[in-house]
Chains A and B, each alone.
Chain A
Amino acid sequence: MNHVTQAPAPPAAARAPAAGRGRRAMARPPSRQWAAWAFLAPVVVYLAVFYAYPLYRNLDLSLRDYTVRSFVRGDAPFTGTANYAKVVADPTFGPALWHTVVFTVVSLAFQFTIGLALAMFFHRNFRLSATLRALFLVPWLLPLIVSSSTWSWMLNSDSGVVNAVLGAFGAAPVHWLTSPDWSLWSVVIANIWIGIPFNLVVLYSGLQAIDPVIYEAAELDGANGSQRFWRVTFPLLRPVSAITLLLGLVYTLKVFDIIWIMTRGGPSGSSTTFATWSYRLGFGNLLPAFGPGAAVGNLLIVMALVFGLVYIRLQRRQAF
């Protein structure tokens, strides 16, 4: 039963590095170390200047009381965690947190379920399956402003095609983007559409890695379709599923474009998440509130990092 516990193989491009692992233990000559770090120097400088420094500036923003004038002159007084306290006490905080959670959880649940169903469907190679699977990638590749504006028009209350179809079935028009009851669901729908391809492709590659012999064995033992799914596919796909979900989570938490373009977080804050709130504080008003904006952003980072660390732990475990 050795192959049953086998972790899914990485995709073709990623299969190679295992071979190099054994050689790690060998001595590292000092001259090679110099060369190695010379080649790494650009990326190290890059990470320091274009990742670490912006993050540091962002942290600094969140710990000072910035006004437009002190922002330019750089002499804002240090106020410690005052911005964070202000943000948490803000009436927007509770709803924004709730919307972030709902947006993320609902998007992920549907993206993953639909992606998995499609992956299983495409897994049974039929005529044109490869071409159709490639076409499914289109929503993922389109610029977000393209998909978001297309969805905006499709969901338009008066002239949108969605309401036209609903109307044909006798339903009253839904004010998708302009009613506080629907705006969050509208952006969730658009986000699910954009996220399905990613889930489909990754889960499909996970399915490809399952040895068909296992299915044949299950079939011989008399397992029916649903048993084959719940007893074979599902457990064997678990590592890939976990990573798909965690990565999807980190990606979904930071979704900003779709919401901002479709609803700007409105109406009256009904689709505001941490990402759009942070943007609105920093850039959306005439008088920017960089301090609180950066504070909201950093809360978002903490959420993403927590899940990112879980992801990396899982990835490490999968490697051995």
Chain B
Amino acid sequence: MRGSRSPAKTALGLVLTGLMLFPVYWMINVSFTRDQDMRKSPPNWFPVNGTLEGYHEVLDRQLPYLATSLVVGLGTVALTLLVAAPAAYSLAKLRPRGGGALTFALLIAQMIPGIIMAMGFYAIFLSTGLLNTLPGLIVADSTLAVPFAVLVLTTFMSGIPEELLQAARVDGAGALRTFWSVVLPVSRNAVITVSLFAFLWAWSDFVFASTLDQGGDHQPITLGIYHYIGNNNQQWNAIMATAVIASIPATVLLVVAQRYVAAGVTAGAVKH
């Protein structure tokens, strides 16, 4: 299995990638299509006579949704890190009694279907007044990321050389100081990976938004798109334009942190 440089393979690779990404291309194409061409048969394969109507719609009506998603995403990242980073440090370096059981609980927690959590949260939020509020949505969205974050950060922090922590201890740093000034800075890449995923999951969440924020004043972009689809006069260029905008964080994630993404996907699956 020697690495080959054959152009035939590259060509095949390009074709396969093109096929795989065709729906993404189609989303972009439709987002530029004029209303009168929308139901044309056969459809326009390229955005000839393209229009920006769809994007004007987004600017007119979807900006509040996008802003809400941004706030929810950032809030989720903050909450996730706040809970996960200290736990990961402890599990990786402080050898707590019962740490194994906790890791086990986190693995199980990852497998609980969102719809079940949503129903439980609905009952709780209804009685505590968190229903249709952003803090409520942030809390719910963070459950998507916290187990993953603890597991990935633990894996990473276990790799920090013991000597480094020893040196900090010799210099008189306590556990808290070691965590803040040594462990966290060294774990920067893992923290970035976890933050990007937490943001992306919160940004993409539909289950919690549609159950816990149905009647909220501030709704995320996933609900913005959902309301659009539910409309009777479906404006597909506007729907697809919103979809394109909603895909920006995923694209940024892939461009900025390509190798962390692959590592993150595998970290969830393979033994830590």
Q: Of A149, A197, A293, A318, which contacts B119 at CB under 8 A?
A: A293
- Check B170 for interface membership: any CB of A closer than 8 A: no
Interface size classification for chain B? 35 or more
Q: B-side binding surface: helix, strand, loop or mixed?
A: helix
Cβ of A247 and Cβ of B113 under 8 Å apart? no
Q: How far, in Å, is B39 (CB) from chain A's closest CB?
A: 4
Q: Does any Cβ of A come within 8 Å of B268's Cβ?
A: yes
Question: Is there a chain B Cβ closer than 8 Å to A147's Cβ?
Answer: yes
The answer to whether A54 and B124 have CB atoms under 8 Å apart is: yes
In the bound complex, what is the Cα–Cα distance between A23 and B162 (angstroms)? 11
Q: Which residues does chain A contribute within 8 Å of B243, judged by CB atoms?
A: 145-146, 149-150
Q: Which of B133-162 contact A (CB under 8 A)?
A: 139-140, 142-143, 146, 150, 152, 154-156, 158-159, 162
Q: Is A315 an interface residue (CB 8 A)?
A: yes
Within the assembled complex, what's the spacing in Å between the Cα atoms of A164 and B122?
43
Cα–Cα, bound, A293→B210 (Å):
16
The total of chain A residues at the interface (CB under 8 A) is: 116
CA distance A167 to B40 in the complex (A): 13
- Does B97 contact A145, Cβ atoms closer than 8 Å? no
Mask for A181-204, Cβ within 8 A of B = 1, else 0?
Answer: 000000000000100111001100
Contact A257 to B206, CB < 8 A, known contacts A14-B270, A128-B14, A319-B271: yes
A40 touches B102 (CB 8 A): yes
* Residue on A nearest B80 in the bound complex, by CB: A46
A146 B120 Cβ-Cβ under 8 A: no
- Among A16, A54, A212, A308, the residue within 8 A (CB) of B117 is A54
A150 touches B26 (CB 8 A): yes
A127 touches B (CB below 8 Å): yes
**A-chain residues with CB within 8 Å of residue B267 when the two chains form the complex:** 11, 13-14
CB-defined contacts of A206 to chain B, threshold 8 Å: 270
For residue B114, give the distance in angstroms from its CB to the closest CB of chain A. 6
Residues of A within 8 A of B121 (CB): 54
A157 to chain B, nearest CB (A): 11
Contacts known (A42-B86, A56-B120, A143-B204); A300 close to B246, Cβ less than 8 A: no
Residues of chain A within 8 A (CB-CB) of B181 are none
Interface string of A42-54 (1 = CB under 8 A from B): 1110110011011
With known contacts A40-B86, A308-B111, A16–B24 Cβ distance under 8 A: no
A135 within 8 A of B: yes
B43 touches A164 (CB 8 A): yes
Bound Cα distance from A8 to B119, whole angstroms: 39
Residues of B218-272 at the interface with A, using a CB-CB cut-off of 8 Å, are 222, 225-226, 229, 236, 239-240, 243, 246-247, 250-251, 253-254, 258, 261-263, 265-272
Cβ-based interface call for A227 (8 A): no
Expressed in whole angstroms, the Cα–Cα distance for A38 and B95 within the complex equals 12
Do A42 and B82 touch across chains, with their CB atoms under 8 A apart? yes
CB contacts (< 8 Å) of A294 on chain B: these are 116, 119
Whole-angstrom CA separation of A146 from B240 in the bound complex: 8
The reply on B90 being an interface residue by CB < 8 A is yes
Task: Give every chain B residue within 8 A of A158 (Cβ-Cβ).
Answer: 39, 41
Q: How far is the CB of B177 from chain A (nearest CB, A)?
A: 11
A139 B114 Cβ-Cβ under 8 A: no
When distances are taken between beta carbons in the complex, the residues of chain A under 8 Å from B200 are: 141
Query: Per-position contact with A for B110-133: 1 when CB-CB < 8 Å, else 0?
Result: 011111111111111011000000
In the complex, the answer to whether A126 meets B5 with C-beta atoms within 8 Å is yes
| Bound Cα distance from A298 to B112, whole angstroms | 10
Most buried by B among A23, A24, A43: A43
Query: Which of A82-90, A91-99, A103-111, A117-125 lies at the interface?
Result: A117-125
Output the nearest chain B residue to A26 by Cβ-Cβ distance: B95
**B250–A141 touching, CB < 8 Å:** yes
Among A24, A54, A124, which residue has its beta carbon within 8 angstroms of that of B4? A124
Which residues of B approach A to under 8 Å, CB–CB? Answer: 1, 3-7, 9-10, 12-14, 16-17, 20-21, 23-24, 26-27, 30, 38-43, 82-84, 86-87, 89-92, 94-97, 99, 102, 104-109, 111-124, 126-127, 139-140, 142-143, 146, 150, 152, 154-156, 158-159, 162, 174-175, 179, 190, 193, 200, 203-204, 206-207, 210-211, 214, 222, 225-226, 229, 236, 239-240, 243, 246-247, 250-251, 253-254, 258, 261-263, 265-272
Q: List 7 A-B contacts (CB under 8 A).
A: A11-B270, A13-B193, A23-B162, A141-B250, A143-B247, A261-B226, A275-B115
Binding site for B on A (CB under 8 A): 8, 10-17, 19-20, 23-24, 28, 32-33, 35-40, 42-44, 46-47, 50-51, 53-58, 60-61, 71-72, 74, 118, 121-129, 132, 134-147, 149-154, 158-159, 161, 164, 167-168, 193, 196-198, 201-202, 205-206, 212, 215, 240, 243-244, 247, 250, 253-254, 256-257, 261, 275, 278-279, 282-283, 290, 293-294, 297-298, 300-301, 304-305, 308, 312, 315, 318-319
